[in-house]
Amino acid sequence: MFRLPGYVIAIISDLENAGHEAFIVGGCVRDMIRGAAPKDWDVTTSALPHEVKALFLRTFDTGIKHGTVSVLVGGNCVEVTTYRIDGEYIDNRRPQSVTFSQKIEEDLSRRDFTVNAIAYSPTRGFVDPFGGREDIAREVIRCVGCAETRFGEDALRMLRAVRFASVLGFEPVSDTKHFAKKLRANLAHISAERVREELVKLLCGKNIGALSLLEETGQMEFVLQGRKYPGDLQETIEWLRPSPTDENMRLALFLARAGDECANILRDLRFDNKTIRTVSTYVALIFSPLSQNRYEIKKILRKVSPEDFEKILDLKKIACPSPETESLRTEARDILAKGECFTLRQLAVNGNDLAAAGVPHGKETGAALERLLDEVMREPNLNTKEQLLCRL
C-alpha cells in the first residue's frame, strides 16, 4: 500500500492532537489501495472550517461555504474539508445547502461511488461502511446506496461512472448502468464545460473499451450536445487502443468521421480555440491523401508545426495505414534537417529589403513575399537575398 507523505501525516496529526478526527478520503485512498500513486491528497475532518484555519499558519479559503480550507505545509497544498451532509439537490448538479457533521460515516454516505467512499487514518485505520475495498478488489463501479438517488442528485455522476470505467479499468454493476440509462436525459442540465472535462479524461483512460458504455447507456447524444456519434464506435475504440495518450490525438480519433462538424462539436463543448484548430486540422488530414512531393509537404508544414505533422502521420498510420506514411515522415524530417525554407521567417528577404528595392509598403509587399516564398519552396537554392531581389 502506498505510504502517506509526511506533510499529509502532519496535517492529520495536528488535527487529531487538537481533539478532532481526520482522515484522507476519496480518490487518494482508492488509488493507495490499488497501489497507484495518488495525484493529490484530500483530508476530511470533524473540525469546523474556522477551527482548521486557527490550527494552521498558512491557509486560504477554497470553498469555505462547503467547508473546504486549503492548508499549505512545506510548499504542499492539501484541501481539508469538514464532514458534511448535503441538502436537497435542485438542479441535478449541486446541493442547495450543506450541513456540517461530526460523523465520518455521514460524510461518506453522500459520495458517488463506493470506491470513492473510503476514509483512512494512520491511527484509526479504514472507515469503509459501503464495501469500497471489496469493490476495488472486484474492480466494479457501484453507487453509494441507491443508484437512482445518486444519479438523480447529480447527473454528472453518470458520466463519471463511464470515466472511472475507462481510467480504472473497472466495470459498472448492472444497476449503475440501468439507472445511468434511465436518467440520462438529466445530463442536459450539466454544463458543456463539465461534460468536456469528463470526456477528455475518459478518452485518455487505459480501458478505452469503456467508451462503448456511452452508447450502451444512451449518454453519447448528450456528450455530443444533441448529436449521434459520427462513425462506427467499435472502429474508433480499435483506433484508440494503440494511440498515445495525447489529448488532441485522442479527440481527433474520437471525431475522425465527423468531418466539418468536428469544429462545431468542439465549440459546443467549450474547447479553447487552439484545441479546436488543432483537432480540426488533424481530422481534416487523417483520411486525406498527402502528396509525396516536397513542395506539397512544405505547404502543410506552413500550416502545422513539425510536431503536429508527426502526430498527423501517427494518426494516419492508425486509422488508414499506408506505406506512403513513413515516406512522408522521412521527407518531412529531411526538409527540416536541411533547413529548407517553408515560412516567411526563413525567407532570405523581408519587408524592409523589399521596400529598399522599391516595392511599396502594404498589400504589394505581402503579395511579393508570398510569391517569393512559393518559389523558394519549389526551389530551395533560390533562398539568397541576391537571387530573390533579382526576381522582383
Domain ranges of the chain: 1-137, 139-223, 233-340, 344-390
Cell 537554392, residue located:
381
Q: Is 139-223 in CATH node 1.10.110.30?
A: yes
Identify the CATH homologous superfamily for domain 1-137.
Beta Polymerase, domain 2 (3.30.460.10)
Least confident span in 57-71, 195-209, 280-294: 57-71
Q: Which residues pair with 45 in a beta bridge?
A: 22, 82
Q: How would you classify the pairing of strands 119-121 and 125-127?
A: antiparallel
User: What pLDDT is recorded for position 93?
Assistant: 62
pLDDT higher than threshold 70 for residue 97:
no
User: pLDDT, tens digit, for every residue of 24-35?
Assistant: 999 999 999 999
User: What pLDDT is recorded for position 94?
Assistant: 67
Q: Which CATH architecture has domain 233-340?
A: Up-down Bundle (1.20)
Measuring CA to CA, how many Å separate 195 from each of 122, 141, 177, 187?
A: 36, 19, 18, 9
Residues above pLDDT 70, as percent of the chain? 97
Look up residue 305 and give its three cell numbers. 508545426
DSSP symbol at 379: -
Q: How would you classify the pairing of strands 68-73 and 76-82?
A: antiparallel
* Banded pLDDT at 188 (limits 50, 70, 90): very high
User: What pLDDT is recorded for position 74?
Assistant: 85
User: What pLDDT is recorded for position 86?
Assistant: 80
pLDDT higher than threshold 70 for residue 1:
no
* Banded pLDDT at 62 (limits 50, 70, 90): confident
* Banded pLDDT at 92 (limits 50, 70, 90): low
Q: Which residues contact 181 (CB under 8 A, 6 or more apart)?
A: 216, 217, 218
Domain 233-340 in the same topology as domain 139-223: no
User: What pLDDT is recorded for position 2?
Assistant: 67
**Number of helical (H) and strand (E) elements in the chain, helices listed first:** 21, 11
* Banded pLDDT at 102 (limits 50, 70, 90): very high
